[in-house]
Structure 1
Amino acid sequence: MARTIAKDHDQKRDNILTAAARVFANEGFDRASMAMLARDCGISKANIYHYYDSKDAILYDILETYLSALRDRICGIDLGGLTPQDKVHRVIREILMAYQGADDEHRVQINGVAMLPPEQQKVLRGYQRDMVVFLGDVLREAAPEVFAGDAAKLRGAVMSVYGMLNWYYMWQSGAGKQAREDYARLVSDLTLKGVGGL
């Protein structure tokens, strides 16, 4: 007879992922052990193995869960009725808000994707690519004359915007909603108008 799934299975799994992201972010994936993860989760090592057979499986689940949800949130933003410039601001704001509370997952993503097998990397990079394309479409619409026929320039602009947003947690740890709103407006204005337009 098949073993039944406990009622709190998903909650325990989520707790393991949250704790593991914290450990991987603070200790590094290579230095973290299953025993360390179990201790941080407050459960036995055997219990972790009930959910995951390896650290690699946990790493992939952290990143797949985080990046798929992030991609769905970003690429699902309703931009109807907005001007091209307002679309830029809405997307930049939403990216920054989506990062709130996910500093550990974000830090793990920086080096973690490259540690996984190629087929898993392909899935995760697909989520990242979707977000890059989405922001690129929004920037192109806001300044079609700037990016016409210049894919390299558009990619550079997209990567620059993500660069300004992706490292926010490093120097604004724990920033609240208003601080994120203000920074999103700064990045939007910088993107659309340059330093002289601030």
Structure 2
Amino acid sequence: MARGRAPGYDTQREDILARAAELFATQGYPGTSMNEVAKACGVSKPALYHYVRDKSQLLAEIATSHVTRLQTVVNEVTALQLKPEACLRQLIERFVEEYAGARHAHRVLTEDVKFLDPQDQTRVLSVQRKVVTAFAQAVAQARPELVEASLNKPLAMLLFGMMNWMFTWLQPAGKLSHAEMAPVVADLFLGGLGAVRLDPVSPPPTRRTRPATKTLSTGDKK
């Protein structure tokens, strides 16, 4: 009889994937060893292999899980049956916020797919293409004339260029959050620079300055 999984197995496995994603994102997939993953997870290396076969499986599961979640977001938004522009805006805002909650996995997906085994790479890229196609269709529904000009997919790719690389400059502890930037990205894509509204963005914190010295008037003594 096969031995059953210990209580907490799934939770521990999810923690291992999250820790591995953080390591891959911060120091690169090739530069991360299974010893480092085990240490970060607080388990021995033999115990780590109880949860995953090898480092390539870690990478495949991180990438697959993230891209599958993105496909789920597309399905959820599509199910709302919104008007075309509202649907596209919802897709943009949901994706930006999704990236915020999975920034390590997202960085792994964008930078380390090339290290996947061919079969895993094909599977992940297949789901990615479906996500891009969904955005291209949303663009086409908002602007049907773009289809004849073959511009709906290139515009969708430009949109992903804005969203996908926000992690390189938008820091979690920065002045702006992903939630604040999500409607800005939607405004910019849908209406251009002139359509960007200032209200979703929190004003920068007031800088503390030294007490102002008294300004000399005509009657003041120097």
Q: Aligned partners of 2:191, 2:92: CA distance in 1, in Å?
A: 15
Higher RCO (C-alpha 8 Å, min separation 6): 1
Report the secondary structure of 1:32's partner residue. coil
Conserved 8 A contact 1:75-1:131: no
Report the secondary structure of 2:50's partner residue. helix
Q: RMSD of aligned C-alpha atoms?
A: 1.9
Q: Which residue of 2 aligns with 1:142?
A: 142
CA offset at residue 175 of structure 1?
A: 6.3
Task: Look up the equivalent residue of 1:16 and give its one-letter code.
Answer: I
Map residues 1-198 of structure 1 onto 2, 5 A cutoff. 1-78=1-78, 80=80, 82-145=82-145, 147-151=146-150, 153-174=151-172, 179-198=177-196
What TM-score, normalized to structure 1? 0.90
CA offset at residue 166 of structure 1?
A: 1.0
Report the secondary structure of 1:50's partner residue. coil
Q: Aligned partners of 2:86, 2:55: CA distance in 1, in Å?
A: 42
Q: Aligned partners of 1:110, 1:128: CA distance in 2, in Å?
A: 11
Task: Look up the equivalent residue of 2:149 and give its one-letter code.
Answer: D
What TM-score, normalized to structure 2? 0.81
CA offset at residue 184 of structure 1?
A: 2.2
Q: Aligned partners of 1:5, 1:159: CA distance in 2, in Å?
A: 43
Conserved 8 A contact 2:137-2:152: no
Q: Aligned partners of 1:104, 1:29: CA distance in 2, in Å?
A: 12
Conserved 8 A contact 1:84-1:138: yes
CA offset at residue 124 of structure 1?
A: 0.3
Q: What runs of 5+ residues in structure 2 fail to find an aligned partner?
A: 197-222
CA offset at residue 190 of structure 1?
A: 2.0
Cα deviation, 1:90-116, whole Å, max 9, x if unaligned, reads: 110111111122111111112221111
CA offset at residue 123 of structure 1?
A: 0.8
Greater helix share, structure number: 1
Deviates more, 1:180-189 or 1:6-15: 180-189
Cα deviation, 1:146-185, whole Å, max 9, x if unaligned, reads: x13233x222100111111111222222169x84344222
Q: Aligned partners of 1:80, 1:61: CA distance in 2, in Å?
A: 29
CA offset at residue 19 of structure 1?
A: 0.6
